[in-house]
A = this chain, B = another copy of it.
Amino acid sequence: MRAGIVVTGTEVLTGRIADQNGPWVSEQLLAAGVDVAHITICGDRPADLTAQLRFLADQQVDLIVTSGGLGPTADDLTVATVAEFCGRDLQLDPALEEHIAGIIRRWRPDTVDLDDGPTRIGIHKQARVPAGAVAIPPTGTAPGVAIPAVPGTQPLPAILVLPGPPGELQAMWPAAIASPAIADVVSRADDLTQETIRAYGLHEAELAETLRRAEETIPGFAALEITTCLRRGELDMVTRFAAADTATYGQLLDFLTEHHGRQIFSTDGSTIEDQLIATLDGRLIATAESCTGGLVAARLTDRPGSSAYVTGGVVSYSNDAKSDLIDVPAELIASRGAVSEEVAAAMAEGALRHLKSDVAVSTTGIAGPDGGTEAKPVGTVCFGVAIKGRPTHTITRRFPGDRERVRSLTTTAALHLVVAQLKRDRAAG
């Protein structure tokens, strides 16, 4: 089973916003055993969209997923273009029309033209579904559409049409792949298992070298489909394999653990956030950030329910803020510098105290592009991890890249440091 993904939208094509849907849908399809052969991006010109649909159909993909172009306005043309491509008429779905109107009524109760005027025209347009297709209920206001494959001498793949806003598309995904036209494709996909190993502090080239040796050592290695990827400073390795090759994957896992056991932090797909929550084990965490400016706190509070373990944080960007909010002595900043392990320790301890927490992590560094010195070049970051009743742990790291990369790598490093320190603390009893 092979699929193609079509991302529409002039704003994506022209580079003004980065596409999130292609990669996300690709990951979901892969996880369901459907191989993605092509992702294509076009603007809001129907002729270009039609050309891409024709290209993918000619490539004999079994499924096309499109994103975008489902809005209420006249330039949103995906459903009409796809319907024409499939030779299907558009038919009004009155129940769907009322469903969309109901959503707008709840969200924007003051919409005056809900029963008449531009809003009603838009709803009417959005409630038109190609003949023989099934609507996917909207989570925003734009419904999706699932069109069954057509077998025969001029076959057409199944086509799943979804909206562009990533939040809407993702929320609609479970219903979309459960709809009969799409479920039929997925049910015929290979039943592959996908396993993820995550490492931190391991270079891609080192892993590549180890995999080369594994290939020589492990019989049947070629049956494993391995891809590796660096993301926010972590190295993920995803392996897909059939049930018959489970033992081979087990051998690979042993081989990797033997060589990189210290760097591999997850073999069950769990993320560093999952592990942080598990190692916190009911304790409360706080942050004190300088160069990351709130990114560590934002990442910790990303998850629903994070108020159960995050008390809060301090973004002590200025030196005054470090002293005033969390008692970092001004003399310490003056003598050691704001970017120093001493200040990082004082920040973590101050946050621990002021935010009545059990654990606190701090970052202070030089994100750049300015502010670097010979002794402390851009990318230098000091961290502190304070655990109630224990000596505070500090470390200095140096990260490559531009401001955004340094801030992102620092955020990931902060989470890994906390987990490592909590585990060490637990091991020490």
Residues of A participating in the B interface, judged by any CB pair closer than 8 Å? 9-20, 22-27, 30, 36-45, 48, 51-52, 55, 59, 71-75, 107, 118-119, 122, 140, 165, 167, 171, 204-206, 208-209, 212, 227-231, 236, 238, 286-287, 289, 292-298, 300-302, 304-307, 310-318, 320-321, 324-325, 354-356, 368-370, 400-405
Contacts and interface: CB of A to CB of B under 8 A. Distances in A.
18 contacts: A10-B229, A11-B229, A13-B26, A14-B27, A15-B22, A15-B24, A16-B231, A16-B236, A38-B40, A38-B48, A40-B41, A51-B59, A293-B301, A294-B301, A298-B298, A304-B403, A311-B321, A321-B356
Closest 10 CB pairs of A and B: A293-B301, A294-B294, A15-B23, A294-B297, A16-B229, A11-B229, A312-B321, A73-B208, A15-B26, A294-B298
Given A16-B227, A52-B38, A325 B298 contact: no
A247 to B, nearest CB: 24
Contact of A122 (B11, B52, B205): B205
A334 to B, nearest CB: 17
Nearest to A20: B18
Given A314-B315, A320-B356, 6 more contacts: A15-B30, A16-B231, A37-B42, A293-B301, A304-B369, A324-B355
Contact of A400 (B48, B107, B304): B107
B307 A318 contact: yes
A14 B227 contact: yes
Contacts of A295: 294, 298
A236 B15 CA distance: 12
Contacts of A317: 297, 301, 306-307, 310-313
A23 B11 CA distance: 10
Contact of A312 (B19, B205, B228, B316): B316
Contact of A231 (B17, B74, B231, B321): B17
